Amino acid sequence: MPESGSLVSRAIRWDTVVGALLIVLLLFSFSFVDGFGNAFNLSFLIGSALPIALIALPMTMLVVAGEIDLSVASTAGLSGAVMGKLWNQGMTIETIIPICLILGVVCGLVNGLLVTRLGLPSLAVTIGTLAAYRGIAQIVLGSDAVTDFPTQYLDFAAGRIGDTFVPYALLPFLVLLAIALVVLHATPFGRSLFAIGASEEAARFAGVRVKRHKLILFTVTGLVASLTGVFWALHYASARYDNATGLELSVIAAVLLGGIDFDGGKGTLGGAIAGVFLLGVLQNVMSLQDVSAQSQIVVTGVLLVVSVLGPRVARQISVARAASSSP
């Protein structure tokens, strides 16, 4: 019988590997990289990673359930564009933000309905809406850039608490992270997502409402994407139709790096968030060390291939261990 619960096999679990790598990289950076440890750099690092980390919360759940949403960055961009447009028309920011969030819910709902009602693959559906939502954003705002949002909001999105390195925005993120951790790893809903991702048919035969779970997930993903779009526009004090372009790839990269199996059913949210910050720290350190942008892209690309290979190799090792000890 395989020692599936043993310390050895837990040590070669990929999410633990990523967490350990992150700690090693942080220790290294604090000790040897000039300019890394100061409050300004740290808050810059966290601020740039936050949009990715935010969307990674629902994206992790989607990938665990065997689905994906590539339209998140476009939803964020659309949300930012609508925010800019309505602000230009004189609406108050307190009215605009809820409208943007509702818009995100609608975007997510459209994805979810196309996937669950029409039975289309989410990869295809969200490639389509990736283009569509971005297109609508451009129609809404054209090539304008809206920058004159109220100062207190800009300060909240870009500022940090006193002299510390902690951005204000980190606090609400930590609350959302805690909620997501509980939902995915400690509720019947989360447990069902793992079952759906590992075997949708078996989950259905166990009475799990598969379509409902997926619809909820896509809707929440749209909501979080639009929230990210609002944060992005305020953080960079700029609402443009092309905000957050390509962010979906960073999110998916980080989630995969964090050990979420692209085939569904496996992984932990902790691993995914470790993946987000591992990529974030790495890029930050490379920038501080004046590594050229091109080389940074190469390093990130290699890491991605490793991230897809790594968990598989880790699993094959444990499968081989199991096979060598059972017939």
Chain residues binding another protein by CB under 8 A are 1-2, 4-5, 182, 186-188, 191-192, 194-195, 198-199, 201-209, 265-266, 322-327
We find the least distance from the C-beta atom of residue 111 to another protein, in angstroms, to be 23
Which residues, in sequence order, are CB contacts of 61 under 8 Å at separation 6+? Answer: 180, 183, 184, 190, 193, 217, 220, 269
Give the DSSP letter of residue 113.
H
We find the least distance from the C-beta atom of residue 192 to another protein, in angstroms, to be 6
We find the least distance from the C-beta atom of residue 93 to another protein, in angstroms, to be 33
We find the least distance from the C-beta atom of residue 259 to another protein, in angstroms, to be 15
Question: What per-residue string of b and e applies to 180-204 under the rule 16 or more CB within 10 Å gives b?
Answer: bbebbeeeeebebbbbbbbebeebe
Nearest in space to 157 (alpha carbons), one of 237, 81, 57, 239: 237
Tokens found for residue 41:
């750099």
Quote the CA–CA distance of 128 and 130 in Å, as a whole number: 5
The one-letter amino acid at 36: F
**Residue for token pair 């490793």:** 306
Which residues, in sequence order, are CB contacts of 119 under 8 Å at separation 6+? Answer: none
| Cβ closest to another protein, residue 86 vs residue 184 | 184
| Cβ closest to another protein, residue 39 vs residue 183 | 183
We find the least distance from the C-beta atom of residue 181 to another protein, in angstroms, to be 12
Residue 47 contacts residue 279 (beta carbons within 8 Å):
no
Residue 138 contacts residue 85 (beta carbons within 8 Å):
no
| Cβ closest to another protein, residue 23 vs residue 185 | 185
3-class secondary-structure state, position 127: helix
Asked whether the CA dihedral 242, 243, 249, 250 is positive or negative, the reply is: positive
Residue 160, φ and ψ in degrees, nearest 5 = -130, 160
We find the least distance from the C-beta atom of residue 326 to another protein, in angstroms, to be 6
We find the least distance from the C-beta atom of residue 234 to another protein, in angstroms, to be 33
| Cβ closest to another protein, residue 102 vs residue 179 | 179
Give the DSSP letter of residue 326.
-
| Cβ closest to another protein, residue 308 vs residue 320 | 320
| Cβ closest to another protein, residue 297 vs residue 320 | 320
| Cβ closest to another protein, residue 69 vs residue 261 | 261
